[in-house]
């Protein structure tokens, strides 16, 4: 069997550099990493990774807490996390937590027991106990997507309020005055911020907020369908429905079609997330695009920086959004067509 010394000699580097490439590849130049990897491949070197991790005090494992892997948007975030983790020599332990506080607290204990180095949380909940780490230090965690403001860990987010305001303004620009909103779970900060953006746009346009046009949802297809059922039963139904995610928008679209109404001729429908299915809906869905894979990539890179001491502040990264206009939204119907 080849040795680490033979790998170092063939790559023309020191043993310490080979060890660093295996343990902390982000601290080695790409050119050097390639040389070391080529030497490893040529010699068939098999490092004792358990010994490497024991000596370094690191597991090279990150835990990702995902409220539900069934959500298409989260699937894209996971893809970004996996690719970023692999590129820096880390493994990703994926936990489908169902938004359960106790499950997430138990997952966070993996860091305490040296089974993982850090946590990426995609929900607005801090799973670490108050006394788990020194109060002045950053927690080994990054909170992404649905965030809670905390001075002890970095966050990666979108300006959800501004994005919802922009979509509502788009609908207003098409002449819509009765614009319904299908909200997400009441406990979610996303729901709060997107509702606030919707209200900002209505107020700026001099439009009143009609509580009958606000429907509760839970980010699922079924809740979008149920909300549309309620909205279509109103004596004065809306001319546009803005859903806080694409899945609810697609559920609403199905109900509207079942009712014999056209989209967007009778009712315009807009979503949020720009999941892959949105471009293939019938008609294609107008939505807010947010960079899901970049959420995952940014969160992993930030967490590794925290673990390596490169980031010592609870910085907030705000990613960009874009209004994607497609055929599901159009001019408001005239009174004669209602």
> pLDDT digits over 23-81, tens only?
778 788 999 999 999 999 999 887 765 555 545 557 889 999 999 998 889 999 999 99
More confident residue, 60 or 207: 207
Is 51 domain-assigned?
no
Residues 121, 177 within the same domain: no
Among 261, 265, 217, 259, residue whose Cα is nearest residue 242: 217
Average pLDDT (186-204) is: 96
304 lies in some domain: yes
pLDDT of residue 55: 52
Say which residue, 150 or 12, is predicted with more confidence.
Answer: 12
For 136-161, the pLDDT digits (tens) are: 678 999 999 999 887 789 999 999 99
Q: Is the model more confident about 22 or about 11?
A: 11
Residues 226 and 199 in one domain: yes
Distance of CA 18 to the CA centre of its chain: 35
State whether 120 and 245 are in the same domain.
no
Are residues 35 and 118 both part of a single domain? no
Does residue 93 fall inside a structural domain?
A: yes
86 within a domain of the structure (yes/no): yes
- Residue 283 within a domain: yes
Residues 184 and 241 placed together within one structural domain of the fold = yes
Give the span between the Cα atoms of 107 and 94, in whole angstroms.
Answer: 10
Count helices and strands (H / E) in the chain.
Answer: 11, 12
In this structure, the answer to whether residues 73 and 200 fall within a common structural domain is: no
Question: What pLDDT, on the 0 to 100 scale, is given for residue 1?
Answer: 67
Q: Residues 296, 286: one domain?
A: no
Please check whether residues 14 and 82 belong to one and the same domain.
no
Pairing, β 61-66 against β 91-96: parallel
- Overall number of domains in the chain: 3
pLDDT value, residue 336? 38
Give the model confidence (pLDDT) of 104-133 as tens digits.
999 999 998 888 999 999 999 999 987 766
- 203 and 331 share one domain: yes
141, part of any domain? yes
Same domain, 184 and 333: yes
Q: Are residues 16 and 106 in the same domain?
A: no
User: For position 296, what pLDDT does the model report?
Assistant: 97
CATH of residue 237: 3.40.50.2300
Q: Which domain holds residue 302?
A: 57-157+292-319
Whether residue 69 sits in one domain with residue 27: no
- Beta bridge partners of residue 228, listed in sequence order: none
Ordered alpha helix ranges (H), the chain:
4-11, 15-23, 30-43, 49-56, 72-87, 101-112, 160-173, 189-204, 221-232, 246-258, 292-307
Domain contains 302:
yes
Identify any residues that bridge with 121 across adjacent strands, giving them in sequence order: 65, 143
Question: What does the pLDDT read at residue 337?
Answer: 46
pLDDT computed for residue 53 by the predictor: 55
pLDDT score of 134: 64
Domain-located, residue 236: yes
């Amino acid at each position: 069997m080849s040795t680490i010394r033979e790998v170092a000699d063939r790559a023309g580097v020191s043993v310490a550099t080979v060890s660093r490439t295996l343990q902390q590849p982000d601290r080695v130049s790409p050119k050097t990493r390639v040389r070391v990897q080529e030497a490893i491949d040529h010699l068939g070197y098999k490092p004792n990774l358990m010994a490497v991790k024991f000596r370094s005090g690191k597991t090279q494992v990150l835990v990702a807490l995902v409220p539900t892997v069934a959500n298409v948007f989260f699937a894209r975030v996971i893809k970004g996390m996996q690719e970023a983790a692999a590129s820096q020599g880390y493994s990703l332990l994926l936990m489908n937590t169902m938004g359960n506080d106790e499950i997430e607290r138990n997952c966070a204990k993996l860091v305490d027991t040296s089974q993982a180095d850090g946590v990426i949380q995609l929900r607005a909940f801090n799973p670490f106990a108050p006394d788990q780490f020194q109060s002045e230090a950053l927690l080994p965690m990054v909170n992404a997507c649905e965030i809670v403001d905390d001075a002890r860990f970095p966050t990666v987010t979108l300006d959800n309020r501004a994005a919802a305001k922009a979509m509502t303004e788009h609908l207003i620009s098409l002449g819509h005055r009765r614009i319904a909103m299908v909200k997400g779970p009441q406990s979610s900060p996303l729901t709060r911020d997107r509702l606030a953006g919707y209200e900002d746009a209505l107020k700026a346009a001099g439009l009143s907020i009609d509580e009958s046009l606000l429907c509760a949802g839970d980010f699922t297809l079924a809740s979008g369908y149920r909300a549309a059922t309620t909205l279509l039963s109103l004596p004065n139904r809306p001319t546009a429905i803005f859903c806080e995610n694409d899945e609810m928008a697609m559920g609403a679209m199905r109900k509207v079609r079942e009712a014999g109404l056209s989209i967007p001729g009778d009712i315009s429908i807009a979503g949020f997330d720009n999941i892959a299915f949105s471009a293939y809906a019938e008609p294609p869905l107008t939505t807010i695009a947010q960079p899901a894979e970049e959420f995952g990539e940014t969160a992993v890179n930030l967490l590794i920086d925290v673990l390596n001491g490169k980031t010592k502040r609870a910085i907030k990264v705000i990613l960009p959004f874009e209004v994607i206009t497609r055929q599901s939204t159009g001019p408001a119907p005239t009174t004669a067509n209602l």
